[in-house]
Amino acid sequence: MKKPLLLSYALAGLLLATGTQAAPAPWHWWVSKADGARICMQTPPGEGWAYSRGPYRDARCTLPARR
């Protein structure tokens, strides 16, 4: 077995053994600076939008995130 492949398996085993898990990104309300429209997104939509509130656990921004 080649060393890079062996190292990859060792790293994968270490991550699985330690229980490393990523959490989903939270959702937030964003308000348009142009017309006041609101959207629920995980990332800032751009310069024409302002942060409103959050975080939420769902894509409809209805379930508050646990803190």
Q: What is the dihedral of CA 25, 27, 33, 37, to 10 degrees?
A: 140
Give the bridge partners for 11, in sequence order: none
| Residue where the block lists tokens 């270490």 | 14
User: pLDDT tens, 7-66?
Assistant: 777 777 766 666 657 788 999 999 999 999 999 999 999 999 999 999 999 999 999 998
In the chain, the amino acid numbered 48 is: G
Domain positions in the chain are 23-67
